[in-house]
């Protein structure tokens, strides 16, 4: 894009006047509002120029959103944007991470991190949790929402870990999935972030939304999304990819009003619910 030229807001329909190709920048003059937004955008947030690989992929006949070159470009830009991100849930052991992940359902990591330090001070071991009636835990986790179910899951998981796994959180997905309240997302978080085992891809609400916006999947079911992602992302990137996309969802790619104007993935993202675009938007693609 030429210096000083900022594309105008896209039409709500996603149709772009004067856009002849998927990556053709628009040349309308920026409004005052856009200029001030662009000035406040962090340096990192400038859209990276297209790599040769992406240009080659775009010039090929037919658009393939999961072409290896496009996927590699997405991974490259995520690496540049979030080079060293890790799990945002505070934890000191596999058990603490398991509990924090169970509590994070329908809640925020910030909220969970407010609750867990006192929780683990009060009940320092898995055995301490296993000895509780689940009702006793409810006031401690109330602020994370769905506290009755979460209390049952945490105490139930503790009881099973003590009874069947010698008090140790298992590092095996099949065993983890036998614990109450543990589905693939939670199991993948524990395996990836604590045991460093890339068994699957964590699909939380951010990965769900952003994978769809970036057309890495058309699925809506988390398990099917995970299967799609596992096919196109190299296994050695599964753990980091999830962390990076979760951070992207927190920092820029919000469910409502994503900050597309600041997003380094903008010129390779065709989501129909973008708030700003220099490229053709695909109306049916939404997060």
Q: In terms of CB distance, is 115 or 253 closer to ligand SF4?
A: 253
Nearest distance in Å: CB 33, ligand SF4: 18
Residue 32, Cβ density class (10 Å: 0-12 exposed, 13-18 middle, ≥19 buried): exposed
Q: In terms of CB distance, is 74 or 105 closer to ligand SF4?
A: 74
Catalytic site residue from 150, 159, 204, 228: 204
Rounded Cα–Cα distance for residues 207 and 24 (Å): 28
Q: In terms of CB distance, is 225 or 260 closer to ligand SF4?
A: 260
Catalog residues that contact ligand SF4 under the rule CB under 6 A: 213, 252-253, 258-260, 263, 265-266, 269, 271, 274
Nearest distance in Å: CB 194, ligand SF4: 28
Q: In terms of CB distance, is 250 or 259 closer to ligand SF4?
A: 259
Tell which residue, 227, 245, 249, has the closest CA to residue 75: 245
Contacts of 86 (CB under 8 A, 6+ apart): 193, 243
**Read out DSSP for 97-124?**
HHHHHHHTTTS-HHHHHHHHHHHHHHS-
Catalytic site residue from 58, 150, 159, 185: 185
Nearest distance in Å: CB 187, ligand SF4: 27
Contacts of 43 (CB under 8 A, 6+ apart): none
Q: In terms of CB distance, is 81 or 94 closer to ligand SF4?
A: 81
Nearest distance in Å: CB 270, ligand SF4: 8
Tell which residue, 264, 277, 102, has the closest CA to residue 187: 102
Question: 172-206: buried (b, 16+ CB within 10 Å) or exposed (e) per residue?
Answer: ebebbeebbbbebbbbbbbbbbbbebbbbbbbbeb
Residue 76 is among the residues annotated as catalytic for this protein: no
Residue length, the chain?
A: 287
Which sign, positive or negative, has the C-alpha torsion 161, 165, 167, 172? negative
Residue 228 is among the residues annotated as catalytic for this protein: no
Residues 23, 42 contacting (CB under 8 angstroms) = no
Q: Give the catalytic positions in this structure.
A: 185, 204
């Amino acid at each position: 894009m030429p210096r000083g030229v900022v594309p105008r807001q896209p039409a709500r329909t996603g149709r772009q006047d004067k856009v002849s190709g998927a990556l053709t920048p628009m040349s309308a003059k920026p409004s005052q509002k856009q200029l001030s937004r662009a000035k406040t955008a962090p340096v990192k947030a400038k859209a990276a120029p297209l790599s040769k690989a992406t240009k080659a992929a775009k010039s090929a006949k037919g658009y393939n959103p999961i072409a290896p070159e496009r996927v590699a470009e997405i991974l490259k830009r995520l690496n540049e944007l979030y080079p060293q991100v890790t799990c945002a849930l505070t934890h000191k052991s596999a058990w603490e991470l398991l509990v924090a992940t169970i509590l994070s359902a329908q809640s925020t990591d910030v909220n969970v991190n407010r609750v867990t330090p006192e929780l683990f001070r009060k009940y320092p071991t898995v055995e301490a949790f296993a000895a509780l009636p689940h009702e006793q835990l409810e006031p401690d986790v109330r602020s994370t929402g769905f506290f009755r179910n979460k209390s049952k899951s945490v105490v139930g998981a503790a009881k099973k870990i003590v009874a069947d796994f010698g008090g140790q959180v298992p590092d095996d997905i099949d065993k983890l999935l036998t614990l109450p309240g543990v589905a693939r997302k939670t199991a993948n978080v524990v395996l990836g972030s604590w045991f460093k085992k890339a068994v699957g891809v964590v699909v939380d609400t951010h990965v769900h939304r952003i994978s769809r916006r970036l057309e890495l999947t058309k699925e809506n079911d988390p398990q099917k999304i995970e299967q799609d992602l596992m096919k196109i992302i190299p296994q050695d990137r599964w753990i980091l990819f999830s962390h990076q996309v979760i951070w992207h969802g927190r920092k820029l790619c919000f469910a409502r009003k994503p900050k597309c104007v600041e997003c380094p993935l903008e010129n390779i993202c065709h989501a129909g619910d973008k708030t700003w675009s220099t490229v053709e938007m695909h109306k049916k693609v939404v997060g």
